[in-house]
Amino acid sequence: MNLDISFDNTGKIIPSYGGKEITMEDSPYMIFLATAGMCSAVYVRAFMTQRGMSLEGVSLTQKMNYNRTTNMIEEMEILVDLPEAFPTKYNKAIKAVVDQCPVKQHFVKPPLVKVTTNIDVAVQV
């Protein structure tokens, strides 16, 4: 399962799956998954902009190993596709920038999630 993240000519980040843009009308799960690649794209865009580099030819692919039995993503890779003119001296730096994405960090070390109801709150009072 791959999600593609691209930039339009204004630098807007556009996530897509199967050639279709992912929007709020799509499932919450697809939006949730897309946030890792979109967050990474924010950091890539900032890196490129700070160095006066064009976003032309820059895209990201979020590759996911999806287990249909458990309905869970078991592994994720963020591939940053850079143009040929991209300076190789920045290769490690661009990967380090993507590693800073807080959404990605939440996949690496997920938070504890609790479910409560208003009944639980009333009982505690």
Number of separate domains in the chain: 1
What is the pLDDT, as a whole number, of residue 46? 96
Cα distances from 56 to residues 4, 77, 90, in angstroms, run 15, 22, 17
Q: With CA atoms as reference, report the closest residue to 61 among 27, 98, 96, 102.
A: 98
Q: How far apart are CA 105 and CA 107, in angstroms?
A: 5
Q: Which residues constitute the domain of residue 32? A: 2-124
Instruction: Report pTM.
Output: 0.84
Q: 3-class SS at 10?
A: coil
Give the CATH number, domain containing residue 7.
3.30.300.20
- Block means of pLDDT (10 residues each) for the chain, length 125 residues? 92 92 82 91 96 94 92 91 94 94 87 88 66
Q: How far apart are CA 64 and CA 54, in angstroms?
A: 28
Q: 10 Å Cβ neighbour count for 21?
A: 12
